[in-house]
Amino acid sequence: MSLSSNVKTILFLGTSLAVGIGIGQGYLYYKRHNSHDFTHIGDPPLITGVGEAPHARGFVLSDLTTLPAALTQAQSAFATTIGIEYPPGMTAEALAEAAKAIHNQGLQVALLPPPAFSPRNPYGRPFPVVANDAHMAGVDFLCISWLNESPDSEYWLDQSAGIRGIYKGTLIFAATPGVLTGIECWDAGDLLGAIGPLPFAQRLPGAPDDIQPHDLRVAWDCTLSGLERLAIAHGKRVALLNANIPQAVTHKLRADASNSPPAPNPVLQKQLYEALLLETKGRAVTTAMMLFRSGAPGDVDSPASVPGMLKHVGEAWDPKTSKPPAPKVVPTETATISQPDGA
């Protein structure tokens, strides 16, 4: 066989392999987005795929005086977890009392720092004190970082080891999604915390304005699947923290280099919330936690401020919507066979 024939054969086989891989990837993408069983919930109806919502799901409190209302809200929304921000002014006794009230309702407790980025300890009190307070209060999840820049790996691995000597629950190592992709201290936490607002895929500036729920689910899929692949590669799971969606939001990239915020768009905000709730169903194996920050009264970015959104949260988190609807049993008619006379 000539050299040219061998080259042609290699090129043909290589092209066939590439086409086959492309078809396979396209099929998997189609299955991922089109093979769900669907059920309608809500008024107007939402469409949700079958699958479990994150097991640890709920709301983060910045003020303990709102705890009674938050517990009622959590029960109606089928939440399983209440997060507590632990600023320097809160006492260990207040934390323990709140954690007891939350546990008495059958819910888990997550302890988070105030939402202010810090390259090191974000709590404003020594880590051994935070770890001991969390341990004594029976906290289930302890978030140890709140980063928006690349971490000092040696520092965080050392701090994590010290905390683990005191606190025996689940540690969350949290950073913005862009920072998470470049960290090296993977063992500083048990869960990788992605701090919101979470980014989502946006259209080009000149793209059409009309958007469908499926479009926004695909936009969220890009972010969520990227985080999950990162976590899986390092034997971790994902925690979505303060996953609130700003009211000032756009589904398009900016045509200029301006950093000014987009105009408020409450309609798109609600659509994005709904799409995020739907797209996080069926990911419980890899996305273990999703928490929304309750915020202060009047916080327009909170789901509680979006008309009807808490109802949609409950519909998406309702365990009954995690299973396909039971098939309807259609009774079969029994034919009556007449017997001949004398039979």
Each residue's pLDDT tens digit, 289-306: 999 998 777 899 999 999
**pLDDT > 70? residue 17:** no
CA 286 from chain centre, in angstroms, equals 10
Strand-pair partners of 192? 173, 238
Residue 19 located in a structural domain: no
What pLDDT score does 4 carry? 52
Angle at Cα 267 formed by Cα 265 and Cα 269, nearest 5°? 70
- Domain of 198 in residue numbering reads as 44-251+268-319
Residue 200 is part of a domain; what is its CATH number? 3.20.20.80
Collapsed DSSP state (helix, strand, coil) of residue 133: helix
Q: pLDDT value at position 110?
A: 98
Per cent of the chain over pLDDT 70 is 79
Q: Count of domains in the chain?
A: 1
Whether 86 is covered by a domain: the verdict is yes
With respect to residue 5, please indicate whether it lies within any of the assigned structural domains.
no
19 pLDDT tier (thresholds 50, 70, 90): very low
295: phi then psi, degrees, rounded to nearest 5? 75, 175
For the chain, give the number of residues: 343
Residue 85 lies in a domain: yes
Return phi, psi of residue 327, to 5°: -65, 140
What 3-state DSSP class applies to 239? Answer: strand
Across-strand partners of 193? 174, 239
* Nearest-angstrom CA–CA distance, 179 and 153: 13
**Who has greater pLDDT, 193 or 208?**
193
- Distance (Å) of CA 336 to CA 314, 332, 339: 49, 13, 9
- How high is the pLDDT of residue 1? 52
Beta pairing class for 287-293 and 46-49: unpaired
Mean pLDDT of the chain, nearest integer: 83
Predicted local distance difference test score (pLDDT) of residue 50: 56
Q: Distances from the Cα of 179 to the Cαs of 23, 198, 246, 249, in angstroms?
A: 33, 12, 20, 22
Taking 50 as the threshold, does the pLDDT of residue 218 lie above it? yes
Residue 208 included in any domain: yes
| Tens-digit pLDDT profile for residues 60-76 | 999 999 999 999 999 99
Residue written as token pair 């996305």: 287
Q: Which helix (H) or strand (E) holds 285?
A: none
**What is the model's pLDDT at position 69?**
93
User: pLDDT tens digits, residue range 228-260?
Assistant: 999 999 999 999 999 999 999 999 888 877 778
Beta-strand relationship, 38-41 and 46-49: antiparallel
Q: What is the pLDDT of residues 126-174, one digit of tens each?
A: 999 999 999 999 999 999 999 999 999 999 999 999 999 999 999 999 9
Domain assignment present for residue 52? The answer is yes
Cα 2–chain centre separation: 58
Q: 32 versus 312: which is more confidently predicted?
A: 312
CA 11 to CA 122: how far, in whole Å?
56
What is the arithmetic mean of pLDDT over 66-95?
96
Q: Are 80 and 55 in contact (CB under 8 A)?
A: yes
For residues 289 and 239, what is the distance between their CA atoms, to the nearest angstrom?
A: 4
| Residue 15 within a domain | no
Residue 170 φ/ψ, nearest 5 degrees:
-90, 130
| Residue 4, token pair as written in the block | 């040219």
What are the Cα distances from residue 233, in Å, to 227, 229, 241?
A: 10, 6, 20
In a domain, residue 112? The reply is yes
Q: Are strands 108-112 and 141-143 parallel, antiparallel or unpaired?
A: parallel
